[in-house]
Amino acid sequence: MDRVAALLLDWYDGHARSLPWRVRDGARPDPYRVWLSEVMLQQTTTAAVAPYFAKFTETWPTVEALAAAPEEEVMAAWAGLGYYSRARNLVKCAKQVVEMGGFPEAEAELRELPGLGDYTAAAIAAIAFGQRAVVIDANVERVVARLFAIEDPLPGARRLIRAHADRITPDERAGDFAQAMMDLGATICTARSASCLLCPVQGLCEGRASGDPLRLPVKAEKKAKPRRTGTAFWIAREDAVWLVTRPGKGMLGGMRALPDDDWSSKADGHGEPPVKGAWKAAGVVRHSFTHFDLELGVVVHAGDDPVALEGGEWWPLERLADAGLPTLFAKAAERVLAGR
């Protein structure tokens, strides 16, 4: 076994993080729980994922239960976790897995399932099924870049990083090795610090030998995000607010939300209000998406009770937390309610 793998696995046996989706002491991982956690962990921190994972596995303890769940309930339970296409693919994938009779074990077959890219498929193959797979997330990418002092800037360096990661991935215990690399990057070899004296592979690390491991991986300069503006409309009567369900495709697809001026499909939203009448400004909320920042003005209908509304539902204010609003619209609702 490669010396790096041997040292890391020995360290992992004594220092592995305790996470709700992990099993230890040779127990066989549940592919459903591995898959669910890995999908949730895409571009999301462990701390943010943990309570969602607990809620999902309590509500839908098996892939069969999730496949049978109404999509709107799954979307509502996902609210606040972000990247909502993951939730839509979650339901599609669960249904497909049930039709197949279970999760496939091979990395190539896993990659064909909805919502599973190279990383997620490799992680499930290695962790759930013990397959040898090269698992590279942001933590592993950083560890490998420092371990081998890879000077090429990202994203161009990723091919070289993968080649080095492939070289040190063992044939046995590939899942534990992948998790050891993740844990090392999350706890010792972090983006902001390198606790080299605690690192099990410090003696083999070329980045440490260079005297400045924190400069690695080298990152290309970030481009400024474009800014969009838009408007959300708060329409209330008695103790209920009007909510719509966003189209299944597109940003925040399939989620309940306040009606808006179609900011998500235009550089600046200019759609018409859903009803006529007087409107009063309630403030602005800001939210950052992957590819742009949004300033969303919130306006409150100040006229008579609206009657010409279609394509939505009146949602009781006392149960607004159960509507599963995405973070953006939850912020807008909080802004209005705080000013009442």
Q: What angle do CA 129, 130, 133 make, to 5 degrees?
A: 105
Please list, residue by residue across 120-155, b when 16 or more beta carbons sit within 10 angstroms of its beta carbon and e when fewer do: bbbbbbbbbbbbbbbbbbebbbbbbbbbbbbeeebe
Residue 205, burial from CB neighbour count under 10 angstroms (0-12, 13-18, 19+) = buried
Structure token pair of residue 99 = 């039709």
Task: Compute, in degrees rounded to 10, the torsion defined by CA atoms 325, 329, 333, 338.
Answer: 120
Complete DSSP assignment for 119-178: HHHHHHHHHHH--------HHHHHHHHHHTT--SPBTTTHHHHHHHHHHH--SSSHHHHH
Q: What is the distance between the alpha carbons of residues 259 and 230, in angstroms, rounded to a whole number? A: 11
Q: Where do runs of H (alpha helix) occur along 241-324?
A: none
User: Distance of alpha carbon 286 from its chain centroid, rounded?
Assistant: 20
DSSP string, 95-121: HHHHHHTS---SHHHHTTSTT--HHHH
DSSP string for residues in 3-44: HHHHHHHHHHHHH----TT---TTPPP-HHHHHHHHHHTTTS
Q: Which helix (H) or strand (E) holds 193?
A: none
Catalytic residue check, 38: yes
Paired strand residues for 237 = 240
Residue 308, amino acid = A
Handedness of CA 138, 142, 144, 150 (dihedral sign): positive
Catalytic residue among 38, 73, 99, 313: 38
Active site residues: 38
